[in-house]
Structure 1
């Protein structure tokens, strides 16, 4: 599979664990909302002066900051106290649908079957393998429950088996700031080796000698910028710096090709990429340039036999596939394999001995195209639903006719299939079990297109329970993201059933800024066209109202991270369109953050939002930045979530925004802030614990709809 690094500050977990709260409508006098003190800070640029009264909140070492965050948490807890019974009901529903003693589909690779399983009542996964067959004795590689003992937060990053299959290197984060320590275990003795590499990016790549591994470190701004080589048994202080990325727009990373022949160091920004290669049998050798970076040239590489295959935007906005001999890799040697197509986005490839499998996006949906290398035919795997998610997964072997892929839709639980590319026979290996019973025929999924402000037709995926009347009275949650070219596909969520079964409509607006309709769709929602993202989302809400799915009194909106920016922008633009808004870890202080290069990830974001040191971009950002455009007017009810250790969106952005909203708004709707003091961008760790937050979230949503007894 081609690896192409694209910066994004958002993960799909935010779609599945919405961060919400609720308001208190009890008759007794409610607890007063915290009032943040004001210390005016004047910020000047390009002849503009902005006064930020809450700039002081940036000091995480200041006890006043911590005290204020705790006051906000206490306030949220107090205001929502009347929903505690509902929260317990929701939590039990959500967890009750999850098979607790579950396991993944085994993956066969080089003599072993690898799989992950869960034990009843435990929060974390157990990584296992069996040799030769699934009837063999189980070997536990890593029990994450044991590793997590004594921590309030635990997240496994990467884990990789050595070439001789005797060692496993793994990375773990015990804070939530995505700084991972790498540790190594001897799988023959069970011993954890003394080697410990602190605060890495988390990725691990073994050389073929079974004693050398490569890893990446971050700089002060949390940008992955240095790749090191470590030899087992030697002090980390003696690790060798292999590559340092000096351009602040670029991150660096390392991986090994599926062929196991090459180590690859990649450097990528939002609009450009560069790779260097080295034979994995020679880990102390010198990496050599594959193709040097050029402005606006994006590419990713993988290797098979004596050629490299390159997915690139070279003279191809929607990307095309090229190949080149492994002895001559610069772009003048590239030969076209799959041409550019105006209506089809080439997303990824999987290489097999006799087949090339292409994942491509057409009309917003992923298609999987199977091609024979000998040219004797090609075909698409059929998918019949109007909105779905399909993806190739865990295809580690070259010499096989079996393609493994995943599939789900907004009504069909996630499934894993083994597909015989020669006979076209399909075997269902596993379908997500929804404990307590689930019938997809009880729900309806629709795919619609609606016009935006400029006439562009925008797709939207919608799901609801069968029998719903389109009378404008249905509670509805509209979700959006729309940044970094990240496409939110219409996936299945058993968690979401707690809303659908209470009569909710759930919709995903596939707005500009994503790549749902190709690369041009992304480029039409970034830089000086960013407002198209916001306009598209508002048009989605208008369409749902006009089509009688809902009304402004029943419509809620949700987005996280860059999607939280979307929430802040549409609240300022169209506050009357939404009853309530959920902004999870929201990027809302755009101008101040983008003007401060000391803040993690800022410089690399210039290629997404623009560089505000240029007056044109500064003025455009200033025109939509949620924090800078809060006004004295009525706003919807809002629940904002944050993580004190968040490395993607610093906690002070949502905190400042809430303080300013409370200060200026003219309505009585609640503005609630919940900061997880023990986690980062992704919220709580653990398989079940995170759903306590989800129950809190849904309680807020139901409370705003007047459905707390439901």
Structure 2
């Protein structure tokens, strides 16, 4: 492995902003301040006899004064560059204009009220409203914009008691995964009891009006609470009007150590369902029949090999979603008094498409993925298909859930050129009607979005959806952004993005590849992109870029790549393996140090997908080969890179991005900028205020356009 060399200092160049009559052209030269000096420490780790230097280990200490000074210095350089891009302000203004329209979510009923979220346009957080029945006058119920002055405290989850009279809601401060829980009475919004603290990765499950179940970890006692390992999840029951330290431990902790524990109740509150896992894939399943207070917790599934969840029950019959012996998923039925796996019987068998079920109005809705787009079937409680629901277009449908007695439900439909639209669905007749259309300033008739299939390095056929203006000339001269994820069984389905309008309006191409490692084609698709098959994911992404170039959608000099979290790893791996293939790289909140990712927060739970460097020598060698932080090579010309992270990210700690950016700045030998943008008072992404999102997206597009030579034409 090449040792780090000295700090690269790029000569500052005079700024020349050229404004054309029909647009604002990129500046021919932008002054780039010298990169901050990043001192190298002498840390060397030994893996199976292999010595691996980690000179920037000190940046893992996010609370240290030196780290904070480094962050400030990096942001100064980055902001100094971005401020000189002549069209940055015009992009920001256009994004603000696009964002400024009323946005609604689908309504839901609790007690005698109908609730819905609404944003007037540029509010930092959506506001929760309610009205009596469906037609009463709307009133503000909870306004998260008043939680903090700068909008960085968000509403991170809410749960109503069955009768709708009590509400428990979670708040997140600065984007952290650590939550506080506040309980209020729905009628007058008066607070009940004390605020719960140190809640993490938790739902809230009410049992009557006595209290609710929630999950949390002990906060790390040493070092940073943002980066410290959180290992043993604990399920508690909180009884109202009692102190949190008297909450009863139900499951987990040292008695049954599990890394992730989730709990919920069936609609009639008879069964408590507990899901326990040590990684992000595969879970044990438990139930407790709450009809008798002395009933014990009963284990339904005693291993972590597959995924399972109870979706409903009828009397003593449980309906369980599982991918056991069904890689694409199925629903089985079993008697709750003897729920062992050997007693399961098929209720809705596996199909060729991946299943994601929900319930409502006494029906089961099977939302299937067919080549990464939605296909929804409605079944009755006998397991009989009643209808295939007619959707408005090819895209993504979500929200097919309701209470057992409901006659109507609401679902949302979207695609890359179909803004999110809410439909009201009659469960009895199967008829949909428009409930709320998007008011975004976008004309879908001007654009097209089509799915293509290309072959990866090993011949596997990969789907990709490409979106652009109608009549696009395929001459290789179009700016393009390729987006991907490829991990954790997560499926990328068509969804509308306000931000992407900026690229499409400029004649750009937006491409999303459905890579292996995701869930688009079930368990096997996921597994073929995990551990020592992870390179398949990177090969799929690289092959997508080669397809776009081969078919003359774009050229390497006009092509950017983007991804966040596991997608940040994807971008980091692609740009280090094929730096000449891309002009711009945008890795966001990425997992970039693959040798140490499991040393922070709940990162050890990602080992199902990644493996760890501690497993064995072969796994270490595999990870070391592609780990973006370690794969950087001295003297290499890398793409223009804008690493993006946040100082409160306690899921993928910012040290990943800090260390990667430091080494990239030292090793890079091209003239293109390699910068890091570090958001303050923000986390992994959830709950980020609108103003912060718009600023971040404006910087992203300005950086992409500036470094692909695009002339920005204000609308």
Partner of 2:347: 337
The structural deviation recorded for 1:631 is: 0.7
Alignment of 1:395-474 (within 5 A): 395-435=401-441, 438-474=442-478
Instruction: Output the CA distance in 1 between the equivalents of 2:648 and 2:99.
Output: 29
Query: Match for 2:248 among 240, 249, 264?
Result: 240
Partner of 1:128: 129
Instruction: Output the CA distance in 1 between the equivalents of 2:308 and 2:72.
Output: 46
Rate the CA distance shift 1:506–1:604 in 2: closer, same or farther, 3 A. Answer: same
3-state DSSP of counterpart to 1:97: helix
Partner of 1:12: none
The structural deviation recorded for 1:308 is: 1.1
Rate the CA distance shift 1:337–1:376 in 2: closer, same or farther, 3 A. Answer: closer
Partner of 1:17: none
Rate the CA distance shift 1:253–1:410 in 2: closer, same or farther, 3 A. Answer: same
Whether 1:704 and 2:680 are equivalent positions in the alignment is no
Query: Match for 2:66 among 64, 67, 70?
Result: 64
Rate the CA distance shift 1:189–1:202 in 2: closer, same or farther, 3 A. Answer: farther
Instruction: Output the CA distance in 1 between the equivalents of 2:346 and 2:121.
Output: 51
Rate the CA distance shift 1:112–1:630 in 2: closer, same or farther, 3 A. Answer: same
3-state DSSP of counterpart to 2:261: strand
3-state DSSP of counterpart to 1:508: strand
Query: Does 404-413 or 529-538 show the bigger shift?
Result: 404-413
Partner of 2:140: 140
Rate the CA distance shift 1:656–1:677 in 2: closer, same or farther, 3 A. Answer: same
3-state DSSP of counterpart to 1:88: helix
Gap runs ≥5 in structure 2 = 1-24, 221-228
Gap runs ≥5 in structure 1 = 1-22
Aligned length in residues: 675
Query: Match for 1:231 among 233, 239, 245?
Result: 239
Whether 1:111 and 2:119 are equivalent positions in the alignment is no
Instruction: Output the CA distance in 2 between the equivalents of 1:442 and 1:286.
Output: 61
Alignment of 1:317-356 (within 5 A): 317-341=327-351, 343-353=352-362, 355-356=363-364
The structural deviation recorded for 1:182 is: 0.6
CA offset digits 1:452-475 (Å, max 9, x no partner): 111111000010011210011100
3-state DSSP of counterpart to 1:447: strand
The answer as to whether partners of 1:475 and 1:555 remain within 8 angstroms in 2 is: yes
Alignment of 1:503-542 (within 5 A): 503-542=507-546
Alignment of 1:290-689 (within 5 A): 290-306=299-315, 307-341=317-351, 343-353=352-362, 355-374=363-382, 377-383=385-391, 385=393, 388-393=395-400, 395-435=401-441, 438-594=442-598, 596=599, 599-613=600-614, 614-632=616-634, 633-682=636-685, 685-689=688-692
CA offset digits 1:491-526 (Å, max 9, x no partner): 112221111001110000111111212221111111
Rate the CA distance shift 1:400–1:189 in 2: closer, same or farther, 3 A. Answer: closer
TM-score after normalising by structure 1 = 0.90
Instruction: Output the CA distance in 2 between the equivalents of 1:337 and 1:325.
Output: 13
Rate the CA distance shift 1:683–1:228 in 2: closer, same or farther, 3 A. Answer: closer
Instruction: Output the CA distance in 1 between the equivalents of 2:383 and 2:288.
Output: 31
Partner of 1:43: 45
Instruction: Output the CA distance in 2 between the equivalents of 1:199 and 1:460.
Output: 41
Instruction: Output the CA distance in 2 between the equivalents of 1:630 and 1:24.
Output: 29
Rate the CA distance shift 1:35–1:25 in 2: closer, same or farther, 3 A. Answer: farther
The structural deviation recorded for 1:687 is: 2.9
The structural deviation recorded for 1:644 is: 1.2
CA offset digits 1:332-359 (Å, max 9, x no partner): 2211112233x32222232542x32211
3-state DSSP of counterpart to 2:525: helix
Instruction: Output the CA distance in 2 between the equivalents of 1:29 and 1:690.
Output: 26
Query: Does 116-125 or 328-337 show the bigger shift?
Result: 116-125
3-state DSSP of counterpart to 2:233: strand
Rate the CA distance shift 1:415–1:223 in 2: closer, same or farther, 3 A. Answer: farther
